[in-house]
Amino acid sequence: MVGITGYGAYIPRHRIKVEEIAKVWGADAQAYKKGLFVEEKSVPGPDQDTITMSVESAFSALKRAQIDPKKIGAVYVGSESHPYAVKPSGTTVAEAIGATPDVHCADFEFACKAGSEAMFVCLGLVGSGSIEYGLAIGADTSQGAPGDALEYTAAAGAAAFIMGKDNIIAEAIDTYSFMTDTPDFWRREYQFYPRHASRFTGDPAYFKHILGAGKAMLEKVKMEPKDFQYAVFHQPNGKFPQRVGRLLGFEKKQIETGLLCPKLGNTYSGSSPMGLTAILDEAKPNDLIFMVSYGSGAGSDAFVWRVTERINQVRDSAVKTREMLNNNKSYLEYGTYAKYRGKIRKGE
Amino acid sequence: MSSPRYWRGIPQRYRLEAGKCKRCGKIYFPPRLVCDECKGREFEKVNLPKEGKILTYTIIRVAPSQCTDQAPYAMGIVELSAGSTGKDGVKILSQIADCDFDKLEIGMPVRIEFRKIYQEGEAGIICYGYKCVPI
Amino acid sequence: MRDVAIIGVGMNKWGELWEDSLRDIFTEAALLAIEDAGVDHIDSMYIGCMSSGLFVGQEHLSSLLSDYLGMGPIPAARVESACCSGGLALRTGFIDVASGMNDIVLVGGVEKMTDVSVGGATFALSTAADQEYEVYHGVTFPGLYALMARAHMHKYGTSRKQLAQVAVKNHFHGSMNPLAQYPQKITAEEVIESVMVADPLRILDCSPITDGAAAVILAPLDLAKKISKKPVVKIIGSGHATDTIALHSRNDLTEIKSTERAAKIAYEMAGKSPEEIHLAEVHDCFTIAEICVIEALGFVEKGKGGPATEHGITALSGKIPVNTSGGLKSKGHPVGATGVAQAIEITKQLRGEAGERQVKNAKVGLTQNMGGSGGSSLVHIMEVV
């Protein structure tokens, strides 16, 4: 049996509302809120980045896993906003948690599914017996170009999972990966903001791959949507995951718990992983969770998880995701938000 | 900030590794070679507790050049101690992040969080370390 | 040990001296001191300077300044203890004469701070604090003293207005000092409404960035009595102590222990108690510093520094006038020169040469100079012979 032994998430304190962004660009806030099903998004402070959030989410995962960090055999951070282009985020995370030096480390990237990739690979390494525990993190502080539709949703957050064979709280029943070359959303080297192909990012990209991976996953494990208590999908906005869930055969109440986007925004590589942490915060033993991520470029990783008895023992050992989402919020106006996000051009 | 100098301090910057005198138990952060209490020369590695309380604070409004974008920010001398044993803990100086300035007060409980301290412009290294946040 | 006297003083006007380089500023003050002493040779020289390297890229001041002084290839040394480099130069010169090693010793201090930007100056000054555990985290010197101020206000009820009164008093004194950088009088309201730098300290709570130099000539007392045409001022006590470099390493954040210890040593050596001191020049790098220092020197009880200032105890007309020169606040603070300039003010006062700001019947004076947030302190006591 292989699966999650510890999990944790991190959400920065700051938020900005859709109205505040729309005001600056002369856009219709209500139309955006309705169209995207998003009200506000998280904003990282000037002293926060993918690495700092990864470290804090990893500490929470360690609190729940209750293991010696030196037993972690691999540290993988998946992001599309790694602070360095060359120097893995994982090295700093591994040092901060005290896992070095006998550890494998690599950074992952695949747009928004870099986090689920790290999870996918850790499960494989633990399952094959190569490592005892693997730390997989999905974290992002992605940028949306000013005035672009993505600016309303590009948010910040992290989720960390420690995979292992012992003391599992959610067993990985199976995984599936589905991938094609699809230029729906990308960022060239040295460019500050990403670009996207507008409506092309929908059916031929997001929906095709989640449906592709989702259907194949259900077939592989010979289960139906009604067998699951929870389902979580990549959340670029609040609408897409609800629609793709419906298309796969899931109901609203199965998707609700893991749907963080309306109040969080799109945390990119953290998106479906963070949704999973919110589910684990309340799931009961034997609950089945269906998870499909999506990364532009494009591909999806699907997972089927079964919660174990042990979840009740460790769930309360660290902060819960919706606690961070709902409490202690600090709302920014656009000027401060732009300053924090480095969108204001300064002299050298 | 030079790479060797940054790197040498990582155990303290990231993990708050301190040294405890084997003879008299006094804890030093950062670790030292000699205990000034008992002149002992042997120490064991300990990690500082990650919770404490504010002993004094200020708000830096005119910041040093590497931090100008973060100004104004609060800083405090924080006594880190394991829970509320009432025993004197080790004191550190750090920024106090994610706090409302009006709510700052002496005695306020805080905990350690891993944050970015500053970066060397657009192309230099990024320096991380500890800050305190209100509990 | 021989007795040591100050027989000459020299100081130029302090300020932003754009036309003058470090070597010009120092040489000018040194020559004034030599003239005042009426000597025709120097046996050795000590220079207090915090960081000529960071400010003007120049080290090896021992060679540079003895070269430019034109008094021959004399032994010279630069000494450094951050903001009390000047006080340390005085002590080092004192030891040189007291030991019998040399007779006529020039003690000077200099700092040229305006060739770099304000950011560059702030960085250079920050090297007086703990680089890894204070400066790394984004603290500034106003920040460190602000932490002290808040702790003092919390523990003793020292008020914002009492802090301001230190600045008001020192500017009033400085208005009578033709060499001061900022001889303007200011009011408590102006201090309290000035720009906030690090809560609760505002810009008018802080000493400025200054170019300047100061020099004194030391001689053995016996020789001084023979050759000096002016009243001879004897150094009767010298105390030196250090403390932890980081503010947070100290047990009581409201005390300056290095000053307490240095003062104790100086008082013992001089055979004097705080009550017997007629006036003092202290290190008011920030208003709170003066309050903590007068407590550390034993002029007032712990915690009473604020009320003492408020009630005029340390004013020119008060029981123990402090900083009649204007202090660092009004006179300026070219870091390495400050400690020496303090000795000059006391000497002038003890000689009766202080003009408008003369303290009546001044016979015994004290200087207190400290580095960083109190990591080192030098205290000297002088008596007119």
CA C342 to chain B, closest CA, distance in angstroms equals 29
What's the rounded Cα separation, in Å, for the pair A329 and A318? 19
Active-site option among C83, C84, C206, C292: C83
Which DSSP category does A191 fall into?
-
What's the rounded Cα separation, in Å, for the pair C354 and C368? 19
The predicted structure's pLDDT at residue A144: 86
Q: Which residues of B touch C122 (CB under 8 A)?
A: 64-65
Nearest to A33 by CA among A237, A267, A258, A292: A237
Chain CA centroid to CA A177, Å: 16
Q: Which residues of C touch B18 (CB under 8 A)?
A: none
Which DSSP category does A189 fall into?
T
Q: Residue A96 in contact with residue A158, Cβ under 8 Å?
A: no
Task: Please state the three-class secondary structure of B41-62 as a single string.
Answer: CCEEEEECCCEEEEEEEEEECC
Q: What band does B84 get if pLDDT is binned at 50, 70 and 90?
A: very low
Which DSSP category does C83 fall into?
B
Q: What band does B83 get if pLDDT is binned at 50, 70 and 90?
A: low
Q: Which residues of C touch B67 (CB under 8 A)?
A: 138
User: Pairing between strand A3-10 and A14-17?
Assistant: unpaired
Indicate whether C227 pLDDT > 80.
yes
Helix, strand, coil: what percent of chain B each, to 5? 15, 40, 40
Picking from B29, B75, B127, the nearest residue to C143 by CB comes out as: B75
Q: Residue C170 in contact with residue C330, Cβ under 8 Å?
A: yes
Q: What is the DSSP string of A30-75?
A: HHHHHHHT--EEEE--TT--HHHHHHHHHHHHHHHHT--GGGEEEE
* 3-class DSSP assignment, residue C323: coil
| A13 at B interface, C-beta within 8 A | yes
Among chain C residues, the shortest Cα distance to B62 is held by C197
What is the pLDDT averaged over residues C191-214?
97
What's the rounded Cα separation, in Å, for the pair C332 and B94? 30
The predicted structure's pLDDT at residue A128: 97
Indicate whether B58 pLDDT > 90.
yes
Q: What is the CA radius of gyration of chain B?
A: 16
| B117 at A interface, C-beta within 8 A | yes
Indicate whether C166 pLDDT > 90.
yes
What does the pLDDT look like over B12-42, one tens digit per residue?
999 999 999 999 999 999 999 999 999 999 9
Q: Residue A248 in contact with residue A215, Cβ under 8 Å?
A: yes
Phi and psi at A197, nearest 5°, equal: -100, 35
Chains that touch A (3 or more CB pairs under 8 A): B
The predicted structure's pLDDT at residue A310: 97
| C154 at B interface, C-beta within 8 A | yes
Residues whose CB is less than 8 angstroms from the CB of residue C197 and which lie 6 or more positions away in sequence, other chains included = B61, B62, C140, C142, C146, C203, C205, C206
Chain CA centroid to CA A165, Å: 23
What's the rounded Cα separation, in Å, for the pair B99 and B73? 9
Structure tokens at B16: 């708050």
The predicted structure's pLDDT at residue B86: 44
What is the pLDDT averaged over residues A230-246?
97
| B95 at A interface, C-beta within 8 A | yes
Largest CA distance in chain A: 60
Active-site option among A39, A82, A105, A112: A112
Nearest to C196 by CA among B72, A119, A25: B72
Compute CA distances A17 → A20, A35, A169, whole Å.
5, 15, 35
What's the rounded Cα separation, in Å, for the pair B14 and A74? 19
What's the rounded Cα separation, in Å, for the pair B50 and B82? 8
What is the pLDDT averaged over residues A205-232?
98
The predicted structure's pLDDT at residue A192: 85
Question: A198-205: long-range contacts (C-beta < 8 A, 24 or more apart)?
Answer: A201/A236, A201/A296, A202/A240, A205/A296, A205/A298
Residues whose CB is less than 8 angstroms from the CB of residue A65 and which lie 6 or more positions away in sequence, other chains included = A5, A6, A133, A162, A164, A167, A314
The predicted structure's pLDDT at residue B121: 86
Residue labelled with tokens 């209500």: A30
Among chain B residues, the shortest Cα distance to A52 is held by B115
To the query of whether residue A261 is one of the catalytic residues in this protein, the response is: no
What's the rounded Cα separation, in Å, for the pair A2 and A170? 9
Indicate whether B68 pLDDT > 90.
no
* 3-class DSSP assignment, residue A188: coil
Structure tokens at C158: 């020292």
What's the rounded Cα separation, in Å, for the pair C262 and A207? 76
Helix axis angle, A18-25 relative to A29-36, nearest 10°? 130
| A145 at B interface, C-beta within 8 A | no
Among chain A residues, the shortest Cα distance to B116 is held by A47
Phi and psi at C169, nearest 5°, equal: -60, -45
Which DSSP category does B22 fall into?
T
What's the rounded Cα separation, in Å, for the pair A260 and A267? 10
Indicate whether A347 pLDDT > 80.
no
User: Pairing between strand C105-111 and C44-48?
Assistant: parallel
What does the pLDDT look like over A309-340, one tens digit per residue?
999 999 999 999 999 999 999 999 999 999 99
Spell out where C168-232 has E strands: 196-198, 201-202, 212-220
Q: Residue C361 in contact with residue C71, Cβ under 8 Å?
A: no
The predicted structure's pLDDT at residue B88: 66
For residue A298, say if its preceding peptide bond is cis, omega within 30 degrees of 0. Answer: yes
Q: What band does B87 get if pLDDT is binned at 50, 70 and 90?
A: low
What does the pLDDT look like over C138-152, one tens digit per residue?
999 999 999 999 999
What is the pLDDT averaged over residues A254-274?
98
Cβ pair B92:C147 closer than 8 A: no
What does the pLDDT look like over C26-37, one tens digit per residue?
999 999 999 999
**In chain B, positions 53-112, which contact chain C (CB-CB < 8 Å)?**
55-67, 70, 73, 75-77, 91-95, 106
Which DSSP category does C318 fall into?
S
To the query of whether residue A234 is one of the catalytic residues in this protein, the response is: yes
The predicted structure's pLDDT at residue B81: 84
The predicted structure's pLDDT at residue A345: 84
Nearest to C261 by CA among C291, C282, C237, C241: C241
What's the rounded Cα separation, in Å, for the pair C16 and C170? 20
* 3-class DSSP assignment, residue C5: strand
What pTM was computed for the model? 0.93
What's the rounded Cα separation, in Å, for the pair C301 and A342? 51
For residue A101, say if its preceding peptide bond is cis, omega within 30 degrees of 0. Answer: yes
Residues whose CB is less than 8 angstroms from the CB of residue C220 and which lie 6 or more positions away in sequence, other chains included = C2, C3, C4, C5, C97, C100, C103
Which DSSP category does A21 fall into?
H
ipTM, two decimals, is 0.93
The predicted structure's pLDDT at residue B115: 98
Mean pLDDT of all residues in chain C?
97
What's the rounded Cα separation, in Å, for the pair A172 and A289? 10
Q: Among A343-347, B131-135, C89-93, C273-277, name the one with the lowest average pLDDT.
A: A343-347
What is the pLDDT averaged over residues A65-85?
97
User: Pairing between strand A104-108 and A72-78?
Assistant: parallel
What is the pLDDT averaged over residues A115-131?
98
Nearest to C91 by CA among C67, C65, C113, C109: C109
* 3-class DSSP assignment, residue B53: strand
